[in-house]
Structure 1
Amino acid sequence: MGALTSSHHKRDAEFQSSSPSGSRYANGHPHISKKLKSSSWYSTLMAPKESSVSRLSRYPQVTPIFREIHAPCRVLKGFTAKSKRLDSSRSENIRQKRNIFGNWMGNFFRTWYKSVKKAVAGSRKLVKFEKEDVTDVDDAQTVNDDNAASEDSGVEEISMVEDEREDINKSGELQDIISKFRRLDQETEENISFQPSTSARVVSQPRDRKTLDTLSLNQPDDSDVDASLPYHMKLLNESAEKHDISLRRLRYEIKLQEQKKASYKQLHPAKKEEDAVIEPFRPLTEDEKEMVANAFSNSSRRKVLVTHENSNITVTGEVLQCLRPGAWLNDEVINVYLELLKERENKEPEKFLKCHFFNTFFYKKLVSGNFGYDYKSVRRWTTQRKLGYSLLECDKIFIPVHKETHWCLAVINKKEEKFQYLDSLGGVDKQVMGALAKYIVDEVKDKNGEDIDVSSWKQEYVKDLPKQENGFDCGVFMIKYADFYSRGVDLCFKQEHMPYFRLRTAKEILRLRAD
């Protein structure tokens, strides 16, 4: 309680020491007898509030206040549920009126917009000009002037349409719009009447021949190979070649194949018709006929006519007698002639296929085993050292087949992957085909160590071949089959050529050279 008493006296002393000339007393307010609390916060809280006018009067008015003084929002009192319903009903009425007015205005503007759009579209359709290259030879200058005038009028009309659209947006009078657009349509029709006809693509007849030549579509072009094509077709072909990628690729492939063909022709020159067809039937000269006649004479029977060193075959006059008409060919004549065919190929490899010719003893040796087949007996016949080349590199392999009193020819055609059997009497022998199929498989296995499958190879018994018409020319047919096949030509001889072939074979053996 003492602390409170002391503080009370202290506040009284502070109050008494304060100046009595305050702002309240300066304004002429009466003296208040009640003592105020001397505490600063208490006096501030309990002091009566001055009005805004009295507070503003203390400050001199130096500058005007430009910012508007905002008054506090007025709070409506007595806002009951009834007033809420009235306000909501009033708002609903206003909303309905607005919707009605908005729908009406929307329908009005929509109808007005459609009519304006239709009118503008029709006008633009009439104003639009198609640009086509139409030449009037009679009066080209007049056409150009008309075109320029039509283009200018078209621009003016389009600008008029835009101006009319602005007027429509301002005035909104539909009748004026229709009348103005009718006037615009009339002006457009008048302008179109000056346009050249684009629907009928007709060019007037030029007056002079020189102009006609310049307009011709069949102008000659020295650069084109085919001058018979019309000019517009040439232009079409050129444009197609420029833009068609697949056509350019195809032309490139054709050019590439032509280059390959040209290179192949350089490596393998084509046989002349004279060499391929006429050469096998070239007649003997008189000297050659005399030489053959002397060899067939009885005085030459015991003479050694020629000896083939590579095969070590000696041909006497008696051996050569088998080539006389009506005789059967013997092994010596057949074997030496096949050797000559091989030598012919070695001398001129570009004219003949790469072939190998077995002698008449090969097939007998091949099928001499206990089971009708013995590869080991002929295994060393085709070594690289003995032949000088690989048997498997040959396109065709010829095997003479002798059947007691008849000669046939078997062919291993590696180039076409087939086995062929040629019998001048049209015979068939499946045993020969089976033996040759086994042989080529064993040969590849023995020489290259590879296993090949020949089950897909064709076995062909040649039917379309020259047939013999007697019982003694089978040997001549057989060696001529080999001769023509090694040339790569068809079997184009007949029975009537046999006497000539006998004399020709004798001549070739005597000279040790096959032609």
Structure 2
Amino acid sequence: MGIYLSRLLRKSSTEVCKAPPGDRAKQDLSELFTPLAHEEEREINNILCSSDQSKQIIVMHGPSSIEITKEIIRCLRPGCWLNDEVINLYLELLKERAERDSKKFLKCHFFNTFFYNKLACGEAGYDYQSVRRWTARLGYGLLECEKIFVPIHRGVHWCLAIINMKDKTFQYLDSLGCVDHGVLRILARYIMDELNDKSNIQVDTSSWLEISDYIPLQQNRWDCGMFMLKFIDFHSRGVGLYFNQENMEYFRKRTAKEILRLRVD
């Protein structure tokens, strides 16, 4: 795994970070990079830089029962890998954001970090029955969604798979520039089983395309989780991925603020 990461990092560091296609001026992205207020910056720095690594709960998200302690939130410090709790709480907050303003954000479904590993388990490397109940009480069907986000964890590396129900495409976003077609094949099989089970609809995903658009690449060994969260954030807004490695420190602090406030804007 270490050699794999080193080679990919050398590759990404030599590539020129080009802007994604389209006219950026046509998209108002100011709210995506709103500077933190001085008091917010001070509060976040105190929490992230504190030597207190206790298990004291500082945030409790009632609907998901996710608890964030002082120790857990420290993963948002520069140079740290993100953990499941922070990622999953952020995904819950993205879901709540879309529910608050359905006209502004796309209709999406956000699977948590445990979904794919559960789906891809078993002797055959695929077990629909183990995740069949995951969508039973959503209040909506995946058929109604424009995009479905699936976090993928590869040892020490976070990636993202997207099932685009509107365009009938699959996408694999890896901030190290790789594509795992095996993951997409598993998800293609999953969406067929899911629509058949929940909606009694027969779908042949063999005609769905695997697309590969521009994605910004990380230039270090630890920001993959942060890149993944921003892939989801920007895609759920329906805007291009107009960010790069230089924005990661700001995104880490902004994510800490949003978790402490239990609200993503």
TM-score with structure 1 length normalisation?
0.46
Q: Distance in 1 between matches of 2:185 and 2:219?
A: 29
Equivalent AA in structure 2 for residue 488 of structure 1: G
Partner of 1:285: 37
Note if contact 2:27-2:239 (Cα within 8 Å) is conserved in structure 1.
Answer: no
- The letter for the 1-side match of 2:154 is K
1:333 corresponds to: 86
Amino acid of the residue matched to residue 439 of structure 1? Y
Secondary structure (helix, strand or coil) at the match of 1:504 reads helix
Once residues 350 and 274 of structure 1 are traced to their aligned partners in structure 2, the CA distance between those partners, rounded to angstroms, is: 18
Q: Following TM superposition, by how much is the alpha carbon of 1:275 offset from its aligned partner in structure 2, in angstroms?
A: 8.1
Gaps of 5+ in 1: 1-272
Alignment of 1:293-312 (within 5 A): 293-296=45-48, 297-299=50-52, 301-312=54-65
Matched, 1:313 2:66: yes
* 1:479 equivalent in structure 2: 229
More strand by share: 2
Mark the CA change 1:276 to 1:335 in structure 2 (over 3 Å): closer, same or farther: farther
Match of 1:468 among 218, 228, 248: 218
Whether 1:347 and 2:97 are equivalent positions in the alignment is: no
Larger Rg, first or second structure (1 or 2): 1
Find out whether 1:441 has 2:192 as its counterpart. yes
Q: Distance in 2 between matches of 1:274 and 1:315?
A: 38
Deviation digits for residues 80-104 of structure 1, max 9, x if unmatched?
A: xxxxxxxxxxxxxxxxxxxxxxxxx
- Alignment match of 1:395 (pick from 124, 133, 146): 146
Task: State the alpha-carbon separation in 1 of the partners of residues 193 and 220 from structure 2.
Answer: 38
How far off its partner does 1:298 sit?
Answer: 2.2
Once the two structures are TM-superposed, the CA of residue 407 in structure 1 deviates from its matched residue by 0.3
The CA RMSD over aligned residues, in Å, is: 1.4
Q: Does 1:377 align with 2:130?
A: yes
Supply the distance in 2 between the matched residues of 1:340 and 1:348 (Cα, whole angstroms).
13
Partner of 1:62: none
Alignment check: 8 A CA contact 2:52 2:71 kept: no
What corresponds to 1:459 in structure 2?
Answer: 210
Q: Which residue of 1 aligns with 2:18?
A: none
- Measure how far apart 1:363 and its partner are: 0.1
Distance 1:311 1:447 in 2: 23
Cα distance, 1:280 vs structure 2: 0.7
Q: Which protein has greater RCO, CA pairs closer than 8 Å, 6+ apart?
A: 2
Matched pairs, number: 240
8 Å Cα contact 1:395/1:414 also seen in 2: yes
Secondary structure of 2:207 counterpart: coil
- Matched residues in 2 for 1:293 and 1:481: separation? 25
Residue 365 of structure 1: which of 93, 108, 118 is its match?
118
Q: Is residue 113–residue 152 contact of structure 2 (8 Å, CA) maintained in 1?
A: yes
Q: Secondary structure at the match of 1:439?
A: helix
Mapped partners of 1:350, 1:276: distance in 2: 16
Give the deviation of 1:460 after TM superposition.
Answer: 1.9
Q: Is the 8 A contact 1:295 1:305 kept in 2?
A: no
Q: Report how far residue 449 of structure 1 moved.
A: 1.2
Larger % of helix: which? Answer: 1
1:209-224 equivalences under 5 Å are: none
In 2, the alpha carbon distance for the partners of 1:446 and 1:494 equals 40
The match for 1:407 is: 158
Q: What residue in structure 2 maps to residue 223 of structure 1?
A: none
User: What is the deviation of 1:300?
Assistant: 6.3
Tell me which amino acid in the other structure corresponds to 1:448: S
Match of 2:22 in 1: none
Amino acid in structure 1 at the alignment position of 2:131: V
Q: Distance in 2 between matches of 1:357 and 1:331?
A: 14
Q: Matched residues in 1 for 2:98 and 2:211: separation?
A: 25
TM-score (normalizing by structure 2): 0.88
- Structure 2 distance, partners of 1:389, 1:307, is 26
Cα deviations across residues 343-394 of structure 1 (Å, max 9, x unaligned)? 00000111100000000000000000210100000000001xx212222101
Aligned to 1:499: 249
Measured in 2, the distance between the counterparts of 1:392 and 1:450 equals 10
Counterpart-to-counterpart distance in 1, 2:205 and 2:131: 20
Structure 1, residues 172-201: CA drift from partner, whole Å, max 9, x if none? xxxxxxxxxxxxxxxxxxxxxxxxxxxxxx
**Identity across the alignment (%):** 57
The alpha carbon displacement at 1:310 in A equals 1.0
Q: 1:299: Cα distance to partner?
A: 3.5
Partner residue, 2:5: none
